Amino acid sequence: MPSFKPVAALTRGLDVLRAVNELRDASVAALHKETGLDKATIVRMLETLEHEGYVTRNPSNTGYITTGRTLQLSRGYDLHHRIALLCEPILAEFRQTIGWPSDVALFDHDAMIVVQTSRESGPLFFNRRPGFRAPILETSIGRAYLAFCADGERDRIIERLRSRIDPRDALAHDPQRLESILAEVRERGFACMDDSYSNREYSGQLWAMAVPVRDEGGILAALNIMMLRSAVTPEAAQERFLGMLTEVAKRLAVSLRGNI
């Protein structure tokens, strides 16, 4: 039990800072909706955070964004590194079993960030080290995550991608086609890399299939296998690897539970 009553003003300030970080470009109205705090309190918290250098006004509108100073708050905590250490032995064993490399990726606001990979060397290395940010709508890991996340989260992600000017987010502007793709992913239990992404990034030589890493609490990450198109067709991969890929995802979910 704490020996003192929590400081309410500090709690409210942290709530506002957390919300600005999540929204990435936060108006007072959006923060009011997100935190439930009255607008006068939100303005007071924002002005304090701005004075201390943690947020600043977005010069292009009336919203607020976090500054680089917020990085100082996370120097003692490295989620991605910790998750990478948990995944490393499982991915290494999986690669030895099937002969093809894999990535584990976490959702990160508007992309999937690779936290661990077994692409250490060889023809499928391509310098995609941990920390690589993969587009959500074109990659197998992004589609696997998006298809199996909660409906509300999916809607927020798509809306965020729709607001950006990026050709990699084109599917966000075609909701009917996107939902058809995601429905097929849910029906089959796995997602595939979009051909346009394969052609642009890998000259059409590589493709990937991915499954969600999830438990009863929801989706935690996504896991893929990268393969040469000339060596393994999607039909062959589904028959040979999908069962093993799903089992490895279950093992990862056990390891990651409580750490994300």
Tokens linked to 168:
């990699």
pLDDT, tens digit (0-9, with 9 covering 90-100), for 232-245: 999 999 999 999 99
Better-predicted residue by pLDDT, 128 or 54 = 54
Q: Which long-range contacts (CB under 8 A, 24 or more apart) does 81-89 make?
A: 82/259, 83/115, 83/116, 83/221, 83/256, 83/259, 83/260, 84/115, 84/116, 84/130, 86/252, 86/255, 86/256, 86/259, 87/115, 87/116, 87/252, 87/255, 87/256, 88/116
- What CATH number does the domain containing 16 carry? 1.10.10.10
Same domain, 36 and 162: no
The total domain count for the chain is: 2
> pLDDT band at 1, cuts 50/70/90?
very low
Same domain, 58 and 140: no
pLDDT, tens digit (0-9, with 9 covering 90-100), for 23-35: 888 999 999 988 8
Same domain, 109 and 89: yes
Domain, as residue range, for 50: 8-74
Note the pTM of the prediction, 2 decimals: 0.70
Same domain, 173 and 239: yes
pLDDT value for 126 = 55
The DSSP secondary-structure symbol of 70 reads G
Residue 185 amino acid letter: V
